[in-house]
Amino acid sequence: MNPEIKKRRAREIDRPTWNIEAIVAELRDIRIKDHETREGPAKLPSRKILVRIMEGLAAALFPNRLGTCRITCEGVDFYVGHTLDVNLTELLEQLRLEFEFTSGAALIIDSPSDLAAAVVSAFAKELPKARALLDTDIRAAYDGDPAARSIDEVLICYPGVTAILHHRLAHVLYKLGAPLLARMIAEIAHSSTGIDIHPGAEIGESFFIDHGTGVVIGETTIIGKNVRLYQAVTLGAKRFPTDEHGALVKGGARHPIVEDDVVVYAGATILGRVTIGRGSSIGGNVWLTRSVPPGSTISQAQVRSEDFHDGAGI
């Protein structure tokens, strides 16, 4: 017998057994019970494919910076067209999977395939507008950061720009009735940047998140133009009302409104449906649960320090 075959068989004999068949059977039973409670199994959209789609759409929007290297001037339009066609086609399939997963009364008229085609068509028409908005965000980042050396550096290096690029596209899908794909795209950005923007949040032009790690922006947040946030800022909900059975009440405006030209510094937490008036400045580590008028400057209370001797202050 071949010595290599002998060695392989010897390794197989020495390898421990895991009782795989019994484990597979138990997992199957649990899976079947889970599917029964959720009206049977359904194939969900693929996160891996969505990562690829987002990379392709970003390349189509910024072909000379995020696309394939060495694109000639004559070939840019061909590259953009081909990249869009490939990735919109893949997006169509992922949307079909979402609509099949969520199908029900809302899809009595349209089949999942027809609805997916309509949404992709509407999404594609919004891409030029998304690119124009992103240009304002990139410019805001460049203008707002003295460390930025070029527009291109901002585009390819800044996590805030990566997060808002994903958000601009995810928000379009969210508004078009594809909340699952929109949320998955938002979480792709969240995983890579540490910036958590719900796709339902409405964000105006020239939006800049500096540094970015730990930023949280809730679903019903409304942000105006020329707003700048720093790291660890939270625009969140103050409380979560429940119904008579103790279940959370879904929906409802529960996150802040941030008007134009506002700056929110690192670590600030703004909770509830409050309004931060235009041109306001919210200082670092401020905890804010009330509205403030335009032009406000909100900072932490000053620390009071006193020296006590011989038992004084007791």
Averaged pLDDT for residues 242-258: 85
Give residue 131's pLDDT band: very low, low, confident or very high (50, 70, 90): very high
Q: What is the third-level CATH fold of 214-301?
A: UDP N-Acetylglucosamine Acyltransferase; domain 1 (2.160.10)
Predicted confidence at residue 251, as pLDDT, reads 78
- Asked whether residue 229 carries a pLDDT value surpassing 90, the answer given is yes
Please report where in the chains the tokens 């009595």 appear, as a residue: 108
pLDDT tens for 87-110 read 999 999 999 999 988 875 444 446
Per-residue pLDDT, averaged over 234-252, amounts to 82
pTM of the model: 0.85
Phi and psi, residue 227, nearest 5° = -100, 140
pLDDT (0 to 100) of residue 67? 84
How many other CB atoms are there within 10 angstroms of residue 261's CB atom? 18
CA distance 102 to 275: 35
Lowest mean pLDDT among 61-65, 120-124, 202-206: 61-65
Query: Which sequence spans correspond to the domains of the chain?
Result: 43-194, 214-301
Is it true that 43-194 and 214-301 share their CATH fold? no
Q: What is the mean pLDDT of residues 149-160?
A: 96
Looking from the CA of 177 toward its CB, the CA atoms found within 13 Å total 14
**How much is the pLDDT for 303?**
56
User: Is residue 246 scored above 80 in pLDDT?
Assistant: no
The residues near 117 (Cβ < 8 Å, ≥ 6 apart) are 92
Percent of the chain with pLDDT strictly greater than 70: 87
Query: How many Cα atoms sit within 13 Å of 257 on the Cβ side?
Result: 11
pLDDT at residue 86 above 90? Answer: yes
* CA-atom Rg of the chain in angstroms: 26
* Pairing verdict, β 202-203 and 281-282: unpaired
Class of domain 43-194: mainly alpha
Write down the pLDDT at residue 310. 59
pLDDT at 302: 66
d(CA 182, CA 174): 5
What mean pLDDT, rounded, does the chain reach?
89
pLDDT score of 313: 44
Model pLDDT, residue 250: 79
Whether 307 has a pLDDT exceeding 70, the answer reads: no
Q: What pLDDT score does 73 carry?
A: 72
pLDDT tens-digit readout, 265-305: 999 999 999 999 999 999 999 999 999 999 999 998 765 55
Query: pLDDT value at position 48?
Result: 96
Residue 215 CB contacts under 8 Å (≥ 6 apart), including other chains: 163, 194, 195, 196, 197, 209, 229, 231, 232, 233, 234
